[in-house]
């Protein structure tokens, strides 16, 4: 199948490559006090999802209401942040010729709110003035986005209405969590006591163990655990050509060339950590212990400058499995197909796209959407990221990076006009010491809430390997 031209296009630029090497620091013997740095935040999200802080979000039985760690103690906790409409998610079309200008200004929206949040958190008395100035700066950037789209023949609609932001937060009464979790009413970037739950207190809420719900066969790529330390705070899918576009650090496995400036040709010619020759790009936010550990990025963008601090934990195990729903045969994914799951801004965007789940080994019939699990001794933390698997048959990307590739219906079938492709399930496990504070890296305004977990994938499987994966899934065989 002839591949359609990608959206968005890459801007011409000097080649730059930065791969940070992160070594796990020696764990502090102290109780894990949370380090609060000068915070920065992203520019873009809507009304805060109250359940994400109050403990009433989606995730099945056992994920809402009071949060427990087994001690029975209770505390009042709060988180405050700046909430702005998510301009990128409102885009429904993005002509290739407009993409560089639009992407640059989306990046500026992120930086504007980052600077505003730093001032807002440092001086509560200046918050009204900060928001007024932020609205002015956002209006100018949104105006440039609108003009770029109009020059390309688009009618972008009333994007100017998305310039205003608000402060928001939610207080909840919850049970206690790991030592070091914050509470109070300050502008803090989390995590909070309400973000944790003792997994043994959660009732089973799924019929099967693990994260694989599909039927039929499967195909697995063995790509390691990022032993080579491929990390950066870029996001090639959502923020191409923008340095520190993620405002948090990613782990990468598979393709060795991935950063914000990677072209398709560079990705296609790069090496890979996958043993079967799979050159696909797989990435997700790093997990950190909030332990006073000082990583190399403690003073860097995406790290300490964006409120992401502590010792980075390398996954104990990474599983990259492709399967099918069983309702219909899968077809091959096209080269360079972009696919993402979860929402890095789900705390303020709301939980509609929050598809990641958390659990513990030995308790994987209990999945959490908006809580970090406290696992008993001998049990590892599990992150499960299930990707959409119904492709529109035409585009390898879309303006909001979601409409070209969607989830099947409850019956496992794709909607009209879409076809089933192999479904990626990423399962990551971490050996976290019991009752230890930890958090996933996040945009600072997302307060390190677990509901913001997400993953990204760019397909660069050789055609031969893709044919093998499709055949294994459709014939009911488990291959690797």
For the chain, the average pLDDT equals 81
Model confidence over 215-240: pLDDT tens digits? 689 999 999 999 999 999 999 999 99
Query: Which tops the pLDDT comparison, 127 or 361?
Result: 361
Which are the contacts of 191, defined by CB distance < 8 A and separation ≥ 6? 34, 181, 182, 290, 372, 437, 439, 447, 448, 449, 450
| Structural domain for 434, as ranges | 50-479
User: 393, exposed or middle or buried, with CB in 10 Å at 0-12, 13-18, 19+?
Assistant: middle
Q: What percent of the chain has pLDDT over 90?
A: 59
Alpha-carbon distance of 468 to 456, in angstroms, equals 22
Q: Provide the number of structural domains found in the chain.
A: 1
Average pLDDT over residues 64-76: 29
* pLDDT confidence band for 46 (50 / 70 / 90): very low
Q: For residue range 277-329, what is the model confidence (pLDDT) as tens digits? A: 999 999 999 999 998 889 999 999 999 999 999 999 999 999 999 999 778 99
Kindly report, residue by residue over 148-202, the tens digit of the pLDDT: 999 999 988 889 899 999 887 754 333 445 655 654 333 467 899 889 999 999 9
Q: Is residue 290 part of a domain?
A: yes
Report CA 166 to chain centroid distance, whole Å.
23
Residue 10 lies inside a defined structural domain of this protein: no
Mean pLDDT, residues 23-42: 32
The answer to whether position 178 is within a domain reads yes
The candidate with the shortest Cα–Cα distance to 297, out of 315, 316, 311, 313, is 311
How confident is the model at residue 185, as a pLDDT? Answer: 32
For the segment 432-443, the average pLDDT, to the nearest whole number, is 91
Is 239 inside a domain boundary?
Answer: yes
- DSSP type of residue 108: H
- The Cα–Cα gap between 478 and 311 comes to 36
pLDDT at 8 over 60: no
Q: Tokens for 235?
A: 């996001």
Q: By three-state DSSP, how is residue 357 classified?
A: strand
**pLDDT reported for residue 181:** 60
Residue 39, domain member (yes or no) = no
User: Is residue 25 situated within a structural domain?
Assistant: no
> What interhelical angle do 127-151 and 99-122 show, nearest 10?
180
Of residues 76 and 434, more confidently modeled: 434
- Least-confidence region, from 159-163, 269-273, 323-327, 384-388: 323-327
pLDDT given at position 188: 63
**Is 4 within the bounds of a domain?**
no
Q: Is 20 part of a structural domain of the chain?
A: no
């Amino acid at each position: 199948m002839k591949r359609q031209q990608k959206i968005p296009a890459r801007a011409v630029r000097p080649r730059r490559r930065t791969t940070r090497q992160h070594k796990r620091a020696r764990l502090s013997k102290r109780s894990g006090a949370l380090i609060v740095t000068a915070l920065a935040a992203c520019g873009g999200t809507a009304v805060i999802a109250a359940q994400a802080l109050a403990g009433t979000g989606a995730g099945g039985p056992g994920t809402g209401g009071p949060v427990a760690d087994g001690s029975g103690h209770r505390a009042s906790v709060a988180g405050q942040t700046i909430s702005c409409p998510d301009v990128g998610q409102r885009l429904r079309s993005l002509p290739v010729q407009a993409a560089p200008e639009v992407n640059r200004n989306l990046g500026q929206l992120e930086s504007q709110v980052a600077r505003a949040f730093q001032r807002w958190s440092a001086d509560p008395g200046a918050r009204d003035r900060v928001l007024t100035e932020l609205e002015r700066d956002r209006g100018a950037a949104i105006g440039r986005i609108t003009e770029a789209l109009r020059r390309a023949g688009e009618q972008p609609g009333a994007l100017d209405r998305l310039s205003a932001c608000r402060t928001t937060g939610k207080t909840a009464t919850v049970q206690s969590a790991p030592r070091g979790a914050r509470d109070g009413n300050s502008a803090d970037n989390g995590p909070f006591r309400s973000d944790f739950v003792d997994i043994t207190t959660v009732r089973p809420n799924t019929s099967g163990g693990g994260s694989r719900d599909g039927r039929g066969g499967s195909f697995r790529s063995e790509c390691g655990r990022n032993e080579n330390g491929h990390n950066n705070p870029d996001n090639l899918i959502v923020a191409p050509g923008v340095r520190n576009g993620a405002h948090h650090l990613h782990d990468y496995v598979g393709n060795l060339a991935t950063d914000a400036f990677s072209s398709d040709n560079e990705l296609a010619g790069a090496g890979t950590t996958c043993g079967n020759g799979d050159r696909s790009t797989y990435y997700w936010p790093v997990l950190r212990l909030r332990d006073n550990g000082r990583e190399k990025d403690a003073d860097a963008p995406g790290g300490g400058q964006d409120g992401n601090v502590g010792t980075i934990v390398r996954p104990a195990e990474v599983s990259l499995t492709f399967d099918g729903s069983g309702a219909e045969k899968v077809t091959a994914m096209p080269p360079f197909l972009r696919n993402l799951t979860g929402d890095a801004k789900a705390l303020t965007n709301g939980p509609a796209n929050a598809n990641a789940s958390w659990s513990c080994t030995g308790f994987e019939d209990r999945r959490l959407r908006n809580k970090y699990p406290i696992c008993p001794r001998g049990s590892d933390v599990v992150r499960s990221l299930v990707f959409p698997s119904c492709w529109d048959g035409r585009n390898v990307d879309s303006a909001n990076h979601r409409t070209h590739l969607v989830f099947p219906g409850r019956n496992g079938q794709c909607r009209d006009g879409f076809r089933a492709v192999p479904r990626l399930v990423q399962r990551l496990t971490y050996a976290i010491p019991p009752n230890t504070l930890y958090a996933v890296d996040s945009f600072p305004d997302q307060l390190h809430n677990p509901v913001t977990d997400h993953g990204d994938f760019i397909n660069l499987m050789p055609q031969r390997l893709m044919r093998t994966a499709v055949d294994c899934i459709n014939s009911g065989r488990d291959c690797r």
